[in-house]
Each structure stands twice: as C-alpha cells, then as structure tokens.
Chains A and B, each alone.
Chain A
C-alpha cells in the first residue's frame, strides 16, 4: 500500500469521530484489497475500458 492509501485517509476518518485504533484497523483492512485492484488495473486496464462497457457486455453475452 502506498502512502496515499494509508496516511491521507486515516486523518480523514477523524471527520467521522472514529478513534485512532478503529481508524488504523479499518485502514489496514483496506490495504490488501486496494493493492490487488491497483495491480490488476496496472496490468489490464486500457483506454478502451470504462464503467459503461459492463452494461454492453452484459447484453452482448446473454443467451442467444
């Protein structure tokens, strides 16, 4: 996890009146998921991929 993922959001959680222990635990829980998505995106994402493509694929891959 890079610094932007951990060090910025933890203070941000203080807006939600969460104590430092809970904030740290929540942040750590996010770590592996964020890393996996970032690595996958770096490997696979292209300029042609965008959120709306999902709906088109859903319709296209339906049963004939």
Chain B
C-alpha cells in the first residue's frame, strides 16, 4: 500500500471505518495495514507502543474480512484496529502495567472490556505505553521512557493513559481504552487533542484491569470524536457478573442522541475561574469554547465553583491509601524497582491512619448529594478547564527531583480528581490550540450515568466548531 492511501485510511474516524468495512468499501486487512504503516512512521518517535502484534492483528483482520464476505458482520467494531493501555489483562500475553515489577507478568484471565471489544469485532494491534502502574499525569515512565506528544515531540503526551492518547491522535489506532483514577484519561486526551471519557463509577467493568485504587478507578474510551467514544462506550459498558461493583443499570444506545442539537442545554461555568488561568493561549481557547457553546444556544449559568480543592484532597487520601495497600508487599520487597516519583507517592499512602481513610469514604455519599443538588439542581452540565497549565516538556517531566515532579503533577490536576471522588461522568473535549501549537481541552461533568448527555454535548460542540480530524506530526 502506498503511503498516501495508508494515511487516508488511518485518517478516517472509527465509526466511518467500521461502516466502510461492513459495506465492503475497504477491507479490515487494508485498514490494519494502514494503521501498521502509521505505527511504523510514528511509534518510535512517540514511544506510544510497548508491543505491536502485527501478525496476530493481520490474522484477526483477515478473519474479519472472511466473515464480511460470508455476510457476517459480528458487531459495531467489526474489523476496526484498536490498542489499549498496557494494564488490561489478556490471557497468555505479557501485561507490563508500565512497570519493571510486572515486566514479565502473564495473566491467566482476559479483562471483560477487552472481551467485549473483541466480541464487537475489534482487531487488537498491540499494547500502549502508560505511566508506571497508571500513576502520573505527565505520563512519565521511568522504565519505558516517556510517551511524546504527537503535536510536539519535545513535550509529553500526558498521563497516565499516555500511549492511548498519543496513538489515537497520531492515527495509529482508531480508538483506545484508558483508565482514570484522578484524571488519567482526561489529561492526556486534553494534551493530545482527542476526546476522553471517564464514565460514572461502576458504569464499566474493571474485571481483569490492573487496579490502582478500587474505589476510584474507571475504564473509559479515548477517540478522535464524541461519536467514536460513544461507539466504544456502548461496547464496553454494563453489568458484569465478574465485577460486583459494576452497576446493574441498563446501557442506552449512546450514539442515538447524537443529533448536534445543544440548544437550550444549561451549562454551569465560572468565567472568573477561566479568566484567572495564567497562560493566555489556554485562556483564549477556553473563552472561545464558551463563546461557541453560547452562540449555539447553550445557556451558560455563571456560578462560583464548589470547593474542588477539598474534594481533590479527599480523592488523594482514598487514592493513596488504596494504592499503598495494593502495592504494600512490593514496597517492602522490591522498593528499588519502582521509579522514584511513583515510590514516593505510594509511601505517602502508608501514613494515613485508617480513620482518615474511612472518614474520606464515609463523607463521599453526603458530599455527592450536596454537589449534585448544588450544580445539577440549576444546570444540566458543569464546565471546567481540563488542565489550566501548558503541556510540560519531556525534560520537565523527567526531573530527578521528586519534590519538583510532585509540584508539577499538582499544577496539572486541580480540576480532575474531584470527579473520581464523586464518581461523576466527565468528558474531555478538544478546544483548539494554544500559542505554542499544543492542544487545549475543556471538561463537561454530568450527573451520575449522564454519559449520553455528555456525548451529545461533546458531539454538538464538535459540529459547532467543525473540528474535524487534523493531522499532527
């Protein structure tokens, strides 16, 4: 396949390519080869793949094409190449979790979400880089190196789902799964200019996913449009007998309501908060996104924000205590095998008394109820910046000064961990590019299980700004 054809195919959206395969306008093998060609061009520069499974992917694609030839399209992702953060278990395959400790770990089970994607017909291209054990908003990885940003290779992609966002933005795959415990889907989505959705706590099964903090972890999609995210979420959401924490609520057709109409939608925002952002390029793009929403009929409701810092603190206590518990044995026996940034964060979780942890968990229901009443009593959605600071350089993220690294992490995440603590669904949406040419994103937050509304709003915004796919480096 010549390079131009490969780029043209790889530049299609996930839903477009699924439709083209199902209609026999293109084969899954051709699409998979196009993705492999993009990976060949990009993956080394970006360091977004930890493993490329070329032969297995082409065999899966050939099977998908044979099924189409027989008139069998097995599901809405038939023949579509995807790859995921390397912490989703696949029986018999190494899953590193971005760590030295699990460099050779071979699980005996397959994650429910991976099973569901394959049942929907997806082709798996390989495994994607991530921050070590999914800890770190820059995506820095001591063992496998940083994932670089497709819009500027001197900058990081964000994390912890670093490879997912970079591979999607670079057109190496049509979509990817990530996980989010404090912003790990939304931060890289914002830094790479793609859409990332953290679902409601319990909306998506976590069976067979390396945990970080049981009470907070969410699995969600990253893709180049809201519609593509909707397709992926429809495939993975829903009850799971293997995960008792998965909600029994039925799953709607998330694509059905994507009609582009956002008129009359009530969105709460603090313009003051946006105006206080120091980076003029980010401020300008966020202001423009609010203007676009308003000009397309969204009712912006100005309001002071709840105390997000307090909610973030509660998230940190739960997160650190649970993560330190999970890693306790390795912290004792294999301390030197952790990168210093991750090790020091984990150690902090050992210091909280059990009563602090239980206080943070016990306050969760009450604070969620208050938040929902205050915000969603007056509005349908809440608007926040995704990240109020510029994308860090690789040099900034790779500092050996742990204290500096933790300060940088905190600077990137004032607006993301709270929705994990409250369990609320949140979507990160591209808002354009700052003066340095790097992407800027904003978030919309909804009531519990309001994923359909979030996707509808994101889709409406995309149509309003006509933010079709753009090619990066």
Interface residues of chain A, those whose CB is within 8 Å of chain B, are 4-5, 9-10, 12-13, 15-18, 22-23, 25-27, 29-30, 32-34, 36-38, 40-41, 44-45, 49-51, 53-59, 61-63
- Distance in angstroms from B256 CB to nearest chain A CB is 15
22 contacts between A and B (CB under 8 A): A4-B353, A12-B350, A16-B332, A26-B347, A26-B348, A29-B406, A33-B313, A34-B351, A34-B356, A37-B363, A38-B356, A41-B363, A49-B362, A49-B363, A54-B361, A54-B368, A54-B423, A55-B202, A57-B369, A58-B200, A58-B202, A58-B247
A49–B358 Cα gap in the complex (Å)? Answer: 10
Pick the 5 closest A-B CB pairs, nearest first: A53-B365, A41-B359, A51-B361, A9-B351, A54-B364
A38–B310 Cα gap in the complex (Å)? Answer: 12
- Distance in angstroms from A16 CB to nearest chain B CB is 5
Enumerate B266-301 residues with CB–CB distance to A below 8 Å: none
A18–B453 Cα gap in the complex (Å)? Answer: 48
A18–B7 Cα gap in the complex (Å)? Answer: 50
Interface residues of chain B, those whose CB is within 8 Å of chain A, are 200-202, 247, 249, 310, 313-314, 316-317, 331-332, 335, 344, 347-348, 350-353, 356, 358-366, 368-369, 372, 376, 403, 406, 423, 446-450, 453
Given A26-B344, A59-B448, also A37-B369 (CB < 8 A): no
Residues of A within 8 A of B406 (CB): 29
- Distance in angstroms from A32 CB to nearest chain B CB is 8
Residues of A within 8 A of B347 (CB): 13, 16, 18, 22-23, 26
Residues of B within 8 A of A13 (CB): 347, 350-351
A56, closest chain B residue (CB): B365
Given A17-B335, A30-B352, also A37-B314 (CB < 8 A): yes
A23–B423 Cα gap in the complex (Å)? Answer: 32
Contact partner, A63, options B313, B316, B453, Cβ 8 Å: B453
Q: Is the CB of A16 within 8 A of B362?
A: no
Q: Is the CB of B359 within 8 A of A45?
A: yes
Q: Is the CB of A15 within 8 A of B450?
A: no
Contact partner, A61, options B350, B364, B447, Cβ 8 Å: B447
Residue from the set B316, B344, B364 with the largest chain A CB neighbour count within 10 Å? B364
Q: Is the CB of A22 within 8 A of B344?
A: yes
Q: DSSP class of A's interface residues: helix, strand, loop or mixed?
A: helix
Residues of B within 8 A of A40 (CB): 310, 314, 359, 363
Residues of A within 8 A of B202 (CB): 55, 58
A3–B347 Cα gap in the complex (Å)? Answer: 19
- Distance in angstroms from B202 CB to nearest chain A CB is 7
Residues of B within 8 A of A32 (CB): 313
Residues of A within 8 A of B365 (CB): 49, 53-57
Residues of B within 8 A of A10 (CB): 351
- Distance in angstroms from A45 CB to nearest chain B CB is 6
A50–B363 Cα gap in the complex (Å)? Answer: 7
A53–B360 Cα gap in the complex (Å)? Answer: 12
Residues of B within 8 A of A33 (CB): 313, 316-317, 352
A56–B201 Cα gap in the complex (Å)? Answer: 12
A53–B352 Cα gap in the complex (Å)? Answer: 22
Residues of B within 8 A of A51 (CB): 358, 361-362, 364
A55, closest chain B residue (CB): B202
- Distance in angstroms from A15 CB to nearest chain B CB is 7
Given A37-B359, A62-B447, also A5-B351 (CB < 8 A): yes
B364, closest chain A residue (CB): A54
Contact partner, A34, options B249, B310, B352, Cβ 8 Å: B352
Q: Is the CB of A44 within 8 A of B317?
A: no
A29–B410 Cα gap in the complex (Å)? Answer: 12
Given A4-B353, A37-B356, A59-B448, also A50-B362 (CB < 8 A): yes
Given A51-B362, A54-B361, also A30-B450 (CB < 8 A): no
Q: Is the CB of B200 within 8 A of A9?
A: no
- Distance in angstroms from A51 CB to nearest chain B CB is 4
Residue from the set A12, A18, A54, A62 with the largest chain B CB neighbour count within 10 Å? A54
Residues of A within 8 A of B376 (CB): 61
Beyond A13-B350, A58-B423, 7 extra complex contacts between A and B, CB < 8 Å? A12-B350, A27-B351, A37-B313, A51-B358, A54-B365, A54-B368, A57-B365
A10–B348 Cα gap in the complex (Å)? Answer: 10
A24–B185 Cα gap in the complex (Å)? Answer: 32
B371, closest chain A residue (CB): A61
A1–B273 Cα gap in the complex (Å)? Answer: 31
- Distance in angstroms from A19 CB to nearest chain B CB is 11
Residues of B within 8 A of A38 (CB): 356, 359
